[in-house]
Amino acid sequence: MTLRPFNFGALTLCLAASACTASITDNGPNGMNGDGPSGGPGGTMTPGGGSSSGPVGQIPAGASSKLKLDGNPAYFRVMRLTNEQWTNSVQSILGLASAPNNAESFQNAVSGMTDFTNNELLLSIDSRGWEDYEGAAEALAKQVTSDAAQLSKLYSGTDAAGFISTVGRRVYRRPLTAAETASYQKLYDLGTKLTGTQTAFAKGAEVVLEAMLQSPYFLYRTELGAAGAPLSSYEVAAKLSLWLRNSTPDSALLDAAAGPGKLDTADGIVAATQKMLDEPAAKAVMRRFHGEFLHFAKFDQLNKVGIAGYDPSINAELSESSYLFFDKIFSQGLGVKDIFTSKTGFVSAKLAPMYGGTAPASGFVEQDLGANRAGYFLQIPFLMLYSRPDGPDPIHRGVTMSLDVLCAPLGQFGGTIPQLPPRQKGQTNRMRVDMHTSGCGTICHNNMINPIGFAFEHFDGMGQYRETEKYPDEELPIDSSGSFAFVDGTKTYKDASELMSVLAADQQSHLCYTKKLASFGLQRDVTEADLPLLAELSAVSESNTGSVKQVMLDLVKTDAFRTRSGGAK
């Protein structure tokens, strides 16, 4: 039986043609979108995102000009579940032994358009998306109700009222209203009259389940209050669970939302978040965060065929080594400082010899990587990824560090990138690149890209440390010194190790990381209006106990997380 539970044009939320339950006004371009911003996030957000319990950092005047904060958040009142969230939620609600594969044919968010693929701006639905959800709902409802054991796992009774109430609460992530319950009862009654060999209960349950899985209240996470108003406890439960578990709230979290003091206070939200951060699901979520943050998918395209010592099969090991490093940062309560200062990394059979270490018998082991390997960005995966086939690539190393680690606004390059000319006698790689970039984007290159990129000149295209540049006819000294104008002043460094020490302590790297983390957690672009929030979170990050987990705990108690942001009517 084909049901159309809602119309994406008028956005009338209907269970069937004769049973409408609610309506949401369409004020945006992408279907179920909310009103745009009015005065910035949070409406009445106080400094530091509105939290009165955390420290508020100080950002120097003019800092916003040195941070890329030009995003365009829509502050939608409803956000579609990502494909992974949909899959995990369906598996959890229906009690399936394995994850359904329906979403494998769903449209995916286009990466590169925003910092993260869970961003609100990427979660619109077109006619194909609607058909995908409709087909999946029909298939899953039939699958579950055709198996008596599976149906009893979903709901142990055989009464319509109990089924609608119990399953509806999980699907909607809140208790159903009386009107919604009545509408589903009508659908159930209609279903029991359909032909077929199933029991009347199974037939009625199939129609109800098919409709529920197409409801906007399942497909979308909502923030329906007035601007600046606190989210409901059920909205908080959904926001936390879909972020930190990548799945719908379980019954225990919904029970907590039903009780006072659990998810309607900052302390209650922090307590719930603390438990979730220690779950395996949160580790998987943060693995995705760091992977998208630092573009680990690029390892799949790494190609140095023809370069001595390169084996294409190492690409997967470079990727996993990177993930394991950031898994440790999150899981062991470490922070941004450790990203730049840790002297250990994860090595495999192919990676260990490249560091001069002993190869493990299998898998990955954590090893000390040596005096010249401070933090992730001096490890082989990063250095190999951002290099030319035949040598270091200070331009792309500098661009990546500036954009991803410092959130520096480099602007748009309007021309084509000319090929690096052949090296001349007596010319170091630094001299060669400097001459090559002197006529294009001079300010951007000379002040922002090159000074950071040249700090890595002691590492060749395979990520190996070298004291000098050796050529067939000459050996040249390496100059990896530089200076950079950070938000809190210009700082100098003699090499990459000193740069890592600077970044570990500098405010800009902490502001940038917390900007990325806030964008991921809030599912939107972070803008200049969010500077008070970033100041608060970066102060936490810079503190001696500023673990990534602590920054996340401080984020969830801010108004930016707990209240309805934007210009909702």
pLDDT at 108: 87
Q: Give the mean pLDDT of the chain.
A: 87
**Domain extent for 166:** 12-33+78-222
Would you report the helix, strand and coil content of the chain in percent, each value rounded to 5? Answer: 50, 10, 40
In this predicted model, what pLDDT tens digit does every residue of 504-553 receive, in sequence order? 999 999 999 999 999 999 999 999 999 999 999 999 999 978 999 999 99
Enumerate long-range contacts of 137-143, CB under 8 Å, 24 or more apart.
137/209, 137/210, 137/211, 137/213, 137/214, 138/1, 138/2, 138/210, 139/102, 140/90, 140/94, 140/100, 140/102, 140/209, 140/213, 141/206, 141/207, 141/209, 141/210, 141/213, 142/206, 142/210
Alpha-carbon gap, residue 423 to 502, rounded angstroms: 32
Quick one: three-class SS letters along 443-458? HHHHHHHHHHHHHHCC
- The structure tokens 């309007």 sit at 414
Q: Residue 443 pLDDT > 80, yes or no?
A: no
Separation of first and last alpha carbons in the chain? 37
Whether 246 is in a domain gets the answer no
pLDDT at 445: 63
DSSP 3-state of 347:
strand
Judge whether 538 and 57 are in contact, CB under 8 Å. yes
- β-strands 468-471, 474-477 pairing: antiparallel
pTM of the model: 0.89
Judge whether 9 and 127 are in contact, CB under 8 Å. no
Buried b (16+ CB within 10 A) or exposed e, 528-548: ebbbbbbbbbbbbbbbeebbb
Q: CA Rg, the chain, in Å?
A: 27
Whether 201 is in a domain gets the answer yes
In this predicted model, what pLDDT tens digit does every residue of 3-52 receive, in sequence order? 544 333 323 333 332 222 333 333 332 333 333 333 333 333 333 333 33
Q: Count the domains in the chain.
A: 1
Closest CA to 211 of 235, 193, 185: 185
Collect all residues with Cβ–Cβ distance below 8 Å to 448 and sequence separation of at least 6: 398, 402, 408, 410, 484
Whether 260 is in a domain gets the answer no
- The structure tokens 């990955």 sit at 364
Whether 470 is in a domain gets the answer no
Collect all residues with Cβ–Cβ distance below 8 Å to 487 and sequence separation of at least 6: 59, 60, 63, 66, 67, 507, 508, 511
pLDDT at 15: 31
> DSSP label at 377?
G
DSSP 3-state of 14:
strand
DSSP line for 495-519: SHHHHHHHHHH-HHHHHHHHHHHHH
Collect all residues with Cβ–Cβ distance below 8 Å to 427 and sequence separation of at least 6: 435
Whether 350 is in a domain gets the answer no
Alpha-carbon gap, residue 145 to 202, rounded angstroms: 5
DSSP 3-state of 288:
helix
Whether 179 is in a domain gets the answer yes
In this predicted model, what pLDDT tens digit does every residue of 213-254 receive, in sequence order? 999 999 999 999 999 999 999 999 999 999 999 999 999 999
Q: What percent of the chain has pLDDT over 70?
A: 86
Q: Which residues pair with 70 in a beta bridge?
A: 527
Whether 158 is in a domain gets the answer yes
Collect all residues with Cβ–Cβ distance below 8 Å to 483 and sequence separation of at least 6: 451, 490, 491, 492, 493
Whether 51 is in a domain gets the answer no
Alpha-carbon gap, residue 205 to 192, rounded angstroms: 8
In this predicted model, what pLDDT tens digit does every residue of 127-139 receive, in sequence order? 899 999 999 999 9
